[in-house]
Structure 1
Amino acid sequence: MEIAYADVDWLANGHSFSDLWCLTFVRGLSEIDVLRRMGAEERSIRPLTYEELIDEGLFPDTVLAGRLGDWIVVVEESGWDALDALEVLSVETEAVSVLRHDYASDCFGYAVDGELITSFNPMIPAWRSGSDPDRLVDVMRDVGFDPTYAPGDADEREARAVKHPSVDGALLLAARLTGVMLTQDVLNAPLVAGDPAVHRFQG
């Protein structure tokens, strides 16, 4: 079944995440492998729920990883370690990341086999970087982005945010690329936690 805006709306607009969070999807690895690639030491890896993460105030130093089919989702409250480590996470596979950061800039990133393919601020989809910044243009259009749009001033950006996709569009873009999306049931279940330290992986 195709993932639609209704499937991501609870994350973009209705969930109790803060105004700074990051979701990163990594294909074909285990939860522990993903956390290791982010630099988490073995002794820091343990079961943990999202509720415990919040109640015990463990964020942003601790991140959560859970399985969604062939993908692992990394859930970060008030942090973006996985986005910073996107190229490392994508070695011999692929990784997709969506950052919401209300005090700075949101970000979408896509990496394959250790290389950042494309990255952009969902509010300014024309300003893309990476080794192949146009690779996802067709999918971007499919989820409602205008890949040519670059607002001329802050007022125009603010007006556009009300009418066009931003974080919700980035989440839907990630869902179209991966075929999966974080659900409330997965978020409420026990996940695998780790404390990333350095972004270093040697295969």
Structure 2
Amino acid sequence: MSPRTDLYDLLFSYVRLYDDEVMPFAEFAAVWCEGIGVQEVAKRLGANPESARKCRLATVVDDLEMNVGDGLLLVGPAGAWTLALQVAGYDCTLEENISRLSDGGGRALSISWCFKGNTDLIYAVDGEIVTRFEITYPEPQSGSAPDALDPLMEGLRFQLDEDDPIVEESLNSAFVLAGRITGQEIDRTWLDSPHTRFVIPHS
């Protein structure tokens, strides 16, 4: 059976937006939030509300004013959840921010990787980190309930052996898992639709 990489491939097709032809798709950061809307997600991540602008991912850097070290978000509804895609920075992957995004009885799920080799999936419920693992090496898992997501991971492949080193399949499995948790996989409709851009000032 061919490995499933369709969601990774979809996101990879937007790699030109990251302006990195030497190491394409070298980094990625996103968080899905349940129970709070676009403005509240941006607020909890420390974004400047006055920086809000409607745009698509393809135009997210157009007419943009930001300083070195600032974060850049694109936030929009994703089914019953809200998705924040971070184009610059890693604010949405910090444990304290993921906990904050799930405060008040909600849930938050973050997926990220970077050129240094870190590939993290973090799941929080009501302000508590429930499960955290490295996508390409998910054992051991940590958090207050490390195996909480195990029932949803059936059929997914994360840690691949040396004879089957397809990192893309591991990352794709993380996106499939996100879809199982939120009820909706990331798709081209979301990526091509207008959402709200926010700048997170560097502190």
Per the normalisation by structure 1, the TM-score is: 0.79
Where does residue 23 of structure 1 map in the other structure? Answer: 30
The separation in 2 between residues aligned to 1:177 and 1:32, in whole angstroms, is: 22
Indicate whether 1:72 and 2:82 are aligned: yes
How many percent of aligned residue pairs carry the same amino acid? 25
Indicate whether 1:124 and 2:137 are aligned: yes
Task: Return the offset for 1:42.
Answer: 2.1
Unpaired runs of at least 5, structure 1: none
> What one-letter code is carried by the residue in structure 1 that aligns with 2:141?
R
Where does residue 71 of structure 2 map in the other structure? Answer: 61
Query: In structure 2, do the counterparts of structure 1 residues 124 and 165 end up closer, same or farther at CA, with 3 Å as the change threshold?
Result: same
Where does residue 186 of structure 2 map in the other structure? Answer: 182
> What one-letter code is carried by the residue in structure 2 that aligns with 1:144?
R
Query: In structure 2, do the counterparts of structure 1 residues 24 and 163 end up closer, same or farther at CA, with 3 Å as the change threshold?
Result: closer
The separation in 1 between residues aligned to 2:46 and 2:156, in whole angstroms, is: 33
Cα displacement string for residues 145-170 of structure 1 (whole angstroms, at most 9, x for unaligned residues):
46xx8x7xxxx4xx543278421111
8 Å Cα contact 2:101/2:127 also seen in 1: yes
> What one-letter code is carried by the residue in structure 1 that aligns with 2:115?
D
Where does residue 10 of structure 1 map in the other structure? Answer: 9
The separation in 2 between residues aligned to 1:74 and 1:122, in whole angstroms, is: 19
Where does residue 41 of structure 1 map in the other structure? Answer: 48
Indicate whether 1:162 and 2:138 are aligned: no
8 Å Cα contact 1:20/1:78 also seen in 2: no
- Give SS of 1:98's match: strand
Between stretches 76-85 and 130-139, larger displacement belongs to: 76-85
Aligned length: 187
- Give SS of 2:154's match: helix
Where does residue 22 of structure 2 map in the other structure? Answer: none
Query: In structure 2, do the counterparts of structure 1 residues 32 and 70 end up closer, same or farther at CA, with 3 Å as the change threshold?
Result: same
8 Å Cα contact 1:122/1:167 also seen in 2: yes
Task: Return the offset for 1:55.
Answer: 4.6
Across the aligned residues of Structure 1 and Structure 2, the Cα RMSD in angstroms comes to: 2.8
Choose between structure 1 and 2: higher strand proportion: 2
8 Å Cα contact 2:33/2:102 also seen in 1: yes
